[in-house]
Amino acid sequence: MVNDSIHGNIELHPLLVNIIDTPEFQRLRNIKQLGAGYWVYPGASHNRFEHSIGVAHLAGCLVKHLQEKQPELKISNRDKLCVQIAGLCHDLGHGPFSHLFDIMFIPEARPECSKWTHEKASVDMFLHMVNNNNLSKIMTEHGLVLEEDIGFIKELIKGVDILKEPKGFNGRTEDKSFLYEIVANEQNKIDVDKWDYFARDCHHLGISTSFDHKRLLKLTRVCDKPEVKSEPEVKSEPEVKSKPEVKRKIICFRDKERDNIYDMFRTRYNLHRQAYQHKTVNIIEIMIKDALLKADAYFKISNAIDNTSESLDKYTGLTDHILEKILYPDFDTQNLPEDTKKKLEEARKILENIAKRRLPKFIKEARLPDKENIQKDVLQNNWSKAVKECNPNMNPEDFVVDMVKMDHGMKGKDLTENVYFYKKSDPTKAFKINKNEMTSILPKRFYERLVRVYYRGSDENVYKQALECFNEWRENNFGLPEVLTCSWNIDNDIH
């Protein structure tokens, strides 16, 4: 029994306790859920450890609800346990400071591994944990069939879009396809992972939300996937009788919950706007990333993502504590090569600047045009040109240019695109709600990018000149081709 600050008393299956009591899972106690957010929000001290337990709890609650309300689905306790394990282990692969590691550090430290994700690492760590702690025997004792269930749990952690063809999963049959939407829903991003971190992050950040995951959970059902009407095929050969096709099943929500679902997506956007992508959080994360890149010369942090037993052992010990090792080295640095020694000293100075709050000054931010192929390095080069044109004496290296991406959770897609509902009068039929019926205040677009500029120096005159330069740079469309030009008004400036 665990007393959780969000969900109250949580009862854990013995197998989940066995998983929790492993070094691979315990490391999550030392990985901040919100990365550098703790430097801005003192209450954001929660870790991946409690979030993962919360996801396992909600996964169990949702499966139990479906078991009781729809016995015809034939959900077994074995199914439930697999989904709970996936919820518990879905974040095993997070590195130091969560997304800072896989989104910012690894792409620069290991460009050849740019497609590496924490989801892939979570699967690797899960298998490593099972082998290292002899969990296979315990899993079998609790009724799991390893040949099927290990693969099923891996799929649940990685996420499978069940609406894509051809069939993209092997762990369960078509009639159990809805189970893939519970932990990592690749169809519409409505899953228990978000339900937990929305509630948990809002609680610790002190941000209010009107989204009610408890109500939504109780108004969830499984329906058959609606058939897509198509033109009949012209058959030149006699029809061959085949086995009746099993309809794929999907999770649906009561139609009256459409505003609650919109609140969910809006909560995600608000959290990004107010906390995850906060201007001070972002610059601290950039500084931590730079420190890790320099320290990589000695600590070989980036090598820990290799899928070998030795690397995974190293990854098990890689947490937020890496910063303390850089700040207070417990080894003799004098005998190191000069280049390595210099980089370690530079890394230490960066972290000292964070600790003493000597941060680059925020100049300004602006919304970028709606064009997919705008790259951060292009903006950096264009800003450098603008700075030199503004004042040849200003040094472009004194500035940090950052590009921030924000959406409602579906990478700019319409929120109603892949969300299915059911009616009280016909709970077996799944349908989509028209965008106009969802809510009258849906935004016209669900995705935006911002460009932010920071100044590393302390010269007040340079700062003022840079501010003027930014305004001119923005008016000139950030130095981008004219085809990208967009109109600006006072509402476009976000301060």
Cα separation, 349 vs 326, in Å, equals 10
The residue annotated as part of the active site, out of 46, 94, 118, 128, is 118
Active-site residue flag, 142? no
Name which of 327, 371, 390, 315 is nearest 353 in CA terms. Answer: 327
Cα separation, 120 vs 404, in Å, equals 24
Cα separation, 257 vs 438, in Å, equals 9
Tokens of 303: 């090598």
Tokens of 11: 């009862």
Q: What angle do CA 200, 51, 249 make, to 5 degrees?
A: 95
Strand ranges (E), 153-307: 220-224, 249-254
The helix, strand and coil proportions of the chain, stated in percent and rounded to the nearest 5, come to: 55, 10, 35
Q: Which residue has the tokens 């349908």?
A: 431
Beta-carbon contacts of residue 91 (< 8 Å; ≥ 6 apart): 28, 48, 51, 52, 55, 118, 122
Q: What angle do CA 327, 329, 333 make, to 5 degrees?
A: 120
Radius of gyration of the chain (CA): 25
What are the residue ranges of helices labelled H in 207-328? 213-218, 258-271, 279-299, 309-316, 322-327
Name which of 392, 267, 287, 284 is nearest 350 in CA terms. Answer: 287
If DSSP codes are grouped into helix, strand and coil, which group holds residue 381? helix
Which residues are marked as active site? 118
